[in-house]
Amino acid sequence: MNKVEGVILDWAGTTVDYGCFAPVNVFVTIFKNAGIDVTMDEARAPMGMLKIDHIRAMLSMPRLSGLWEDKYGRPFEEQDVEKLYAEFEPALMDCLSQYTDPIPGVIETVDKLRSQGLKIGSTTGYTNTMMDVVVSNARQKGYSPDSYVTPDDTHSCGRPYPYMIYRNMEQLKLSAAWGIVKVGDTTSDIKEGVNAGVWSVGVVIGSSEMGLHQEQFESLAPSEQEKIIADTKEVFLQHGADFTIHTMSELPALIEQINSLLLKGFRPGCSLT
């Protein structure tokens, strides 16, 4: 069957939690509690990774590692990572249920894809414990994929490793990487898809990469919206995305386009120009 048979979706910033604000707010808070003021951009940069890896990546940023040395008189150590994560997890769990609303257009898009016979998998940077909250709340609000895999299921090898996608393939009995489309809202998502050999798609509006609340985005002038959309798309493409879409509502049409490419012999990662 020379066509797309499955879609693997990210969670926060792609299907729920417009702008991916649940984790980013907590990252800012735990660093502030440690005496380090981080910017929203710094807190977002590693988004999509397993959350303890995210903290490690933040501490490895030159500016933040320098601030840490200035404050504590030594470079950060693994015990610092673990201490910050020990604060991060309960703080996120306290607020996570508030950030499980499906992003506009997601429920309708998934229904349409299912009606076309596609299977819907998902990957995440959240742990199983976190996903217990997200999955149950999102289901009550109308969104529920056929499967989900967390880094806990892949021996803590989260993005950009491809293993969560492979586990979805196994669970959903998907036969070939070229017949799978991975959609996400971070550069970690894009790299995950590239490394798995699937079609890698970045969704722009509502993404962590864009980093705006829905009200903030909608209040921008059309020219400002166009610029931030173009800038976000460019980031995804620079990290290897095969395609970008403005919103999830564009995904069914994109899959039709990919099916046409597959019939012509194209595969993920091929130059389409």
Could you list the active site residues?
A: 10, 51
- 33 DSSP assignment: H
C-alpha distances out from residue 263 to 4, 259, 270, Å: 11, 6, 14
Residue 12, annotated ligand binder? yes
CA 224: distance to chain centroid?
24
Cα angle value 264/268/270 (rounded, 5°): 70
Residue 185, annotated ligand binder? yes
Exposure string for 140-160, b = 16+ CB within 10 A, e = fewer: eeebbbbbbbbbebbeeebbb
Burial class (CB in 10 A: 0-12, 13-18, 19+), 105: middle
Output the 3-class SS for 178-202: HHEEEEECCHHHHHHHHHHCCEEEE
**Residues contributing to the annotated binding site:** 10, 12, 185
Residues that constitute the known binding site for Mg(2+): 10, 12, 185
